[in-house]
Amino acid sequence: MRAPQPEARTSLNAARRQRELAALPGEVVDVLVVGLGATGAGAALDAASRGLSVAAIDAHDLAFGTSRWSSKLIHGGLRYLAAGQVDVAHESAVERGVLMRHTAPHLVRALPFVTPLTPLVPRTRAFATLAAFHAGDALRLAARTPRSVLPGPRRLSAVETLRLAPALRPYGLRGGLLSWDGQLADDARLVTAIARTAAGHGVRVLTRCRAVALTGDGAQVRDEATGREFAVRARSVINATGVWA
């Protein structure tokens, strides 16, 4: 018998959903993930890639909540650095580099930002802002993300600034500051890719299945398409429903 093609192993379609719904009530999975946004899909993939049996459910569709209404900015942790959370800032920079170089280079690209230095921006603030951008670039360096993927910041002349932002008023313009961060082209597509990869690792991915009650050993689940309720037994439960629960 021929092995299933990668598309078949990762496809999330109606026929697969029916098979998963039929099999799940008779199983005890290692991990039940409730919520299939970026966090839930990522947790399901992580658990399955470590050899655990996983089921992941969502009352709606993939990336229904925050994960499809995000800023689409894959930032490198500069705001965490400003708050003194150096470890979190470094982790953000590392994950940004992983997305841009390995897991989703087709979805995450370098996004330039121009900060114009108008007469309203004091020179001290301009200096502090450029220093912050260089601190962010230090995070990029610590995360081992090459400048070919994410360029470093620099000072712009007034001519360069106007070329990049022609709608600016030239009067009094001293130049600008150019910085870079990661931009996600399609947040819902990234979640879908993660969920499909998880399915390829054996995760039972079930959308439109609502957890009506969480228990210590699983959840009571309702199929929103039919109204049928059934119990899902699990050794551990991850609540990744976020603010939309």
Residue 224 to residue 189: CA distance in whole angstroms: 23
Residue 182: Cβ-neighbour burial (10 angstroms; 0-12, 13-18, 19+): buried
Structural domains in the chain, sorted by start? 6-68+188-244 (3.50.50.60), 73-181 (no CATH)
Instruction: Give per-residue pLDDT as tens, 90-139.
Output: 999 999 999 999 999 999 999 999 999 999 999 999 999 999 999 999 99
Tokens of 60: 């709606």
Residue 113 to residue 154: CA distance in whole angstroms: 11
Instruction: Give per-residue pLDDT as tens, 3-39.
Output: 555 556 888 999 999 999 999 988 999 999 999 999 9
3-15 exposure pattern, b = at least 16 Cβ within 10 A, e = fewer? eeeeeeebebeee
Tell me, what's the pLDDT at 7? 58
Name the average pLDDT for the chain. 93
Q: What is the mean pLDDT of residues 176-186?
A: 96
Instruction: Give per-residue pLDDT as tens, 156-173.
Output: 999 999 999 999 999 999
Tell me, what's the pLDDT at 3? 53
pTM given for the model: 0.85
pLDDT at 51 over 60: yes
Tell me, what's the pLDDT at 1? 44
Instruction: Give per-residue pLDDT as tens, 183-234.
Output: 999 999 999 999 999 999 999 999 999 999 998 899 999 999 999 999 999 9
Res. 78 pLDDT band, cuts 50 70 90: confident
Give a three-class secondary structure readout of 13-68: CHHHHHHHHHHHHHCEEEEEEECCCHHHHHHHHHHHHCCCCEEEEECCCCCCCHHH
